[in-house]
Structure 1
Amino acid sequence: MDKPIEFLPNDFEFVKDADGAMIDEVYSGESFWKNILRRIVKNKGAVVGFFSIMIILILALIGPEISGYTYDQQISGHESMAPRIPGLEKLGIFDGTETLKTSTGEMEVNKYEQISGGEDVYHWFGTDVLGRDLFTRTWEGTRISLYIALVAVVVDVLIGMSYGMISGFYGGKVDMIMQRVMEILNGIPSLVVVTLLIIVLKPGLLSITIAIALTGWIGMSRIARASMLKLKQSEYVLAARTMGAKDFPIMYKEILPNIFSQLLIMSMFSIPSAIFTEAFLAFVGIGIPVPMASLGSLISENFKSLTTHFYMIVPPVIVLAVLMLSFNMLADGLRDALDPTLKEV
């Protein structure tokens, strides 16, 4: 017959002392923003996206300065040259050699060997059909795309956020009129808006900036309005009214901090859309005028040489794809970190 089990006082002990055993190791003494930062760092996609954006930003700033060429410099005799990178050429890759298809077959050509002083000439991304350095033009084009991203965020914050918050806060006839105006603007395609602007203005950054400013804020406005309608009857808003607070202090001091995370996420998601819009407009020929370059215009120009010199289109396509993907991953990480419904997941 089994003997009964007897428990002694020292059979069970706290891993720590009695005072420290009840302290939450993860969240004790952790601030709100520190908690958000920790959640973002745990999201590998957001971290990769952030560092990718930083690398592209640094290259866009210093790339045209270190290449030794300007974006509009046409060098006679350097037309359609393959990529050549110092150091890698000794390994047999990126040494300026390309394979050309002819009527009799294929042959390897190295145009660097055919020009005077070619042993000291390097074009890291090659050159286009006019002899312009693609490394310089690619990073100049990236500057344009990053400028468009900045414009998208500023327009979202200054126009979309304020428009939506005012519309949702006052409601009634004010909300009805503001929403009808927004629907009219949203019903006009961006391509039509840009085309009309080009008729009045010259093609360029100003036309694209105005086009984004006219219609790019509508998505942000809807999010801000929906959030305002949800929170404007909250207890802390009623308390602020009771204390004599005016409308705009209530909107920007009481309600905005509670919806800021949603608006920030929406702004991040709007950046890839704005970059793609500029690239599309440049691709169809109504974007940045020559000889200026954007990623979209570079893709449009070099697309014609895809079958003969495919390397011309690869750099702008890769940079554009990585830039848009990085912003999407960073926005997705911010959404996971800032969304209160996901904190217990």
Structure 2
Amino acid sequence: MNMSNTTFNEKIEFLEDDFELVGAENVGTVDKVYVSQSYWQDVLTRLKRNKGAMIALISIIIITLLAIFGVGMNEHSYDSQIIAHQNLAPRVPGIEKLGIFDGSETMNTSSGEVEVNRYVSNDGSKTGLEDVYYWFGTDILGRDIFTRTWMGTRISLYIAVVAVLIDIIFGLSYGLISGYFGGAVDNAMQRFAEILNGIPNLVIVTLLIIVLKPGLITITFSLMITGWIGMNRIARAQMLKLKEQEFVLASRTLGAKDFFIIFKEILPNILGPIITNTMFSIPNAIFTEAFLAFIGLGVPAPMASLGSLISDAFKSFTTHPYMILPPVIVLAILMLSFNILADGIRDAFDPKMKER
């Protein structure tokens, strides 16, 4: 009896290798504890991880800053004409010593290719252009392409802002109200929207030009007539999906008014698709303005837009190809950046893209 108690009370000491974890080789992952964050913080985190979207955002910011400050970065204005400076190739101080952007260009003539530099004279005489620099060159009227390119970019960014405002003010409100009330109200509102959508935008702009003068006001009115149709459809579809949810029924039971439910209860829950669709509408609006300007229905001269610059430079493309490159490159980067950013925002708002 005493021996049993002595054995039971005996101090037992365990060593590190006395036990072995069974199945340790099958343990693939270990749970981690993540810091709690809000929905919008989660969206922003996923957006930051998208390198393409971040590069696109930086490109848009850089182009916006150049559009704001680029017009005043030299002594030239967008509408000044110096006939003696016409058709000058790009010339950049400092870089010209490297043999590039030194004002020389290769022209195709009947006798073959000839390299010409109008800043300097072949016979050693002074041309008066030795100390003149045009970073993007000049056009056929001697206007600075650098200044006019960034002035045209201002027009494109203005159209982008107008497109966003039209989507939010007209398209969003129209679609939410139509989907919420439904029935005859929804049927009448959607039939009206379909009638407007069936009219080609070019016809609308042409009719507006008959009444109004060509310019930004005409383009703005054309966007106001048909530019909100896409947002209307998205907002209506989201409303039809959410208006029968329990939280809407609870608000209605507590006596909430219709417009309070629309804009305070339902709208915050559909901001993801709304923001995504708005971002995708911006490049479409920019392209529409550029197309109208290219065919002569945009802003009148001497005001410049990217579309009108491309149209003017296209006439001299075979002899002076440098004229068309700056507006084409800026327009391409601007539209591509907005599309990539919109795609990144869509992925950030999509719960299926969340890393598990």
Q: Kindly name which structure, 1 or 2, has the bigger radius of gyration based on alpha carbons.
A: 2
Which position in structure 2 is the counterpart of 1:8? 18
Q: How does 1:46-57 map to 2 (within 5 A)?
A: 46-57=53-64
Q: Distance in 2 between matches of 1:11 and 1:341?
A: 36
Q: 1:160 aligns with which of 138, 157, 171?
A: 171
Residue 147 of structure 1 aligns with which residue?
Answer: 158
| Structure 2 counterpart SS, 1:305 | coil
Do the aligned partners of 2:46 and 2:354 also contact (CA within 8 Å) in 1?
A: no
Cα deviation, 1:176-200, whole Å, max 9, x if unaligned, reads 0000100010011000000000000
Separation in 2, partners of 1:66, 1:344: 45
Please, which runs of 5 or more residues in structure 2 have no aligned partner?
A: 1-15, 23-29
Out of 183, 203, 206, the position equivalent to 2:194 is 183
AA aligned opposite 1:217: W
Deviations 1:232-264 (A, max 9, x none): 000000011111110111111110011011000
Tell me the distance in 2 between the aligned counterparts of 1:186 and 1:35.
37
- Shift of residue 226 of structure 1? 0.3
Matching of residue 112 in structure 1 with residue 112 in structure 2: no
Map of 2:89 onto structure 1: 82
Q: State the alpha-carbon separation in 2 of the partners of residues 7 and 279 from structure 1.
A: 76
| Alpha-carbon distance in structure 2 between the residues aligned to 1:23 and 1:92 | 58
What is the 5 A alignment of 1:131-280? 131-280=142-291
Q: Deviations over 1:123-174 (max 9, x none)?
A: 0000000000000000000000000000000000000000000000000000
Q: Tell me, in whole angstroms, the C-alpha distance in 2 between the residues paired with 1:336 and 1:8.
A: 51
Between the aligned partners of 1:277 and 1:176, the Cα distance in structure 2 is 29
Contact map agreement 1:272 1:324 (CA 8 A) in 2: yes
SS of 1:108's partner is strand
Secondary structure of the 1:198 match is helix
Instruction: Note if contact 1:161-1:220 (Cα within 8 Å) is conserved in structure 2.
Output: yes
106-115 or 86-95, which moves further after superposition?
106-115
Amino acid at match of 2:72: E
Question: Which residue of structure 2 lines up, in the alignment, with residue 326 of structure 1?
Answer: 337
Aligned partner of 2:45 in structure 1 is 38
- In structure 2, what is the Cα distance between the partners aligned to 1:11 and 1:103? 87
**For the Cα contact (< 8 Å) 1:126–1:135, is it kept in 2?**
yes
Kindly provide the amino acid, as one letter, of the partner of residue 105 in structure 1. Answer: G
Determine helix, strand or coil for the equivalent of 1:207: helix
TM-score (norm 2): 0.90
Q: CA deviation at 1:341?
A: 3.1
Tell me which moved more, 116-125 or 255-264: 116-125
- Report the equivalent of 2:6: none
Give the Cα–Cα distance (whole angstroms) in 2 for the partners of residues 281 and 247 of structure 1.
Answer: 41
User: 2:130 & 2:162 partners in 1: Cα distance?
Assistant: 43
Shift of 1:7: 6.5
Q: Distance in 2 between matches of 1:298 and 1:255?
A: 44
3-state DSSP class of the match of 2:301?
Answer: coil
Q: Which runs of 5+ in 1 are unaligned?
A: 1-5, 13-20
CA contact (8 A) 2:79 2:303 kept: yes
CA distance in 1, matches of 2:219, 2:196: 16
Residues 67 and 135 in structure 1, CA contact (< 8 A), matched pair in contact too: no
Give the aligned partner of residue 99 of structure 1.
106
Q: What's the secondary structure of 1:100's corresponding residue? A: strand
Structure 2 CA distance for aligned equivalents of residues 191 and 22 of structure 1? 58
Give the secondary-structure state (helix, strand or coil) at the position aligned to 1:179: helix
Aligned to 1:3: none
Tell me the CA shift for residue 11 of structure 1.
Answer: 6.2
- Once structures 1 and 2 are overlaid, which stretch shifts more, 253-262 or 334-343? 334-343
Return the alpha-carbon distance in structure 2 between the equivalents of residues 261 and 336 of structure 1.
10
3-state SS of paired residue (1:101): strand
SS of aligned partner of 2:179: helix
Q: CA deviation at 1:37?
A: 1.3
Instruction: Give 1:292 deviation, angstroms.
Output: 0.6
Q: Which amino acid aligns with 1:168?
A: G
**AA of the residue aligned to 1:93:** I
| Closer, same or farther: CA 8–32 of 1 in aligned 2, 3 Å | farther
Match of 2:322 in 1: 311
